[in-house]
Chain A
């Protein structure tokens, strides 16, 4: 069974600085997709970024980028120029291309951006 591990339950960063959230996963599949979702205090789950495993290029969305290391099964999220509105729970998620079609989530990292 696939598992997703986020080893940092909580992190904090100063406004305007850069922070990296880690995520590792375990799978025997070769084709899959990885996601980072953000859950601010409002509870809404918002997609931050998506990565296809067959693409070597790291996905980027404005201030958010990932470092995808397929061999290491690592998928970290880098937030540049952190803003107060980035304060949220961040969830890493995995879904394999074949099989059960279930999105498997990590336990989340609570990020606080300090002024």
Chain B
């Protein structure tokens, strides 16, 4: 069974559209994250949630809105997509927010904005 899953794996869309990426973890973890990996492979955190509450919100355009309906899910909604949003988006989870807890990553969603 996949521990952290993301859907879809690939997403190709036009500029200006709105899209969502879903993430689910079955590890019983309390904390979930969204990361963005750009074309140069640089990986940077965007958001993190602990028990459905936002705890990290990096400098991300407000077109990006995470939503956590329960602690096993953290979805990412992106409005008015731009070319620069093309990247691979990774969801991750950890047991809690204690630093040093291993983060387990999903398989990534490759987003291509045309």
User: A and B: partners?
Assistant: yes
Q: Could you list which residues of chain A lie within 8 angstroms of chain B, going by C-beta atoms?
A: 32-33, 35, 37, 39, 42-47, 50, 52, 89, 91, 95-103, 105, 107-108
Known: A43-B107, A43-B108, A101-B55. Contact between A91 and B97, CB under 8 A?
no
Q: Could you list which residues of chain B lie within 8 angstroms of chain A, going by C-beta atoms?
A: 33, 40-45, 48, 55-56, 58, 88, 90, 92, 97, 99-100, 102-105, 107-108, 110
Known: A32-B99, A96-B99. Contact between A102 and B107, CB under 8 A?
no
Known: A100-B56, A105-B42. Contact between A95 and B108, CB under 8 A?
no
Q: How far is the CB of A53 from chain B (nearest CB, A)?
A: 9
- A47 near B107 with CB under 8 A, answer no
Partner of B99, one of A42, A44, A89, A101: A101
Partner of B100, one of A91, A95, A108: A95
Instruction: Identify 18 residue pairs between A and B in the complex whose beta-carbon atoms are under 8 Å apart, listed by A's number.
Output: A32-B99, A33-B100, A42-B107, A44-B107, A45-B43, A45-B90, A45-B105, A95-B99, A96-B99, A99-B99, A100-B56, A101-B55, A102-B45, A105-B43, A107-B41, A107-B42, A108-B41, A108-B43
| Measured CA separation A60–B48 after assembly (Å) | 29
- B88 near A101 with CB under 8 A, answer no
Q: Assuming A44-B107, A47-B103, A108-B41, what are 11 further A-B pairs, CB within 8 angstroms?
A: A33-B100, A35-B102, A43-B110, A50-B100, A97-B99, A98-B99, A101-B99, A102-B56, A102-B58, A103-B45, A107-B42
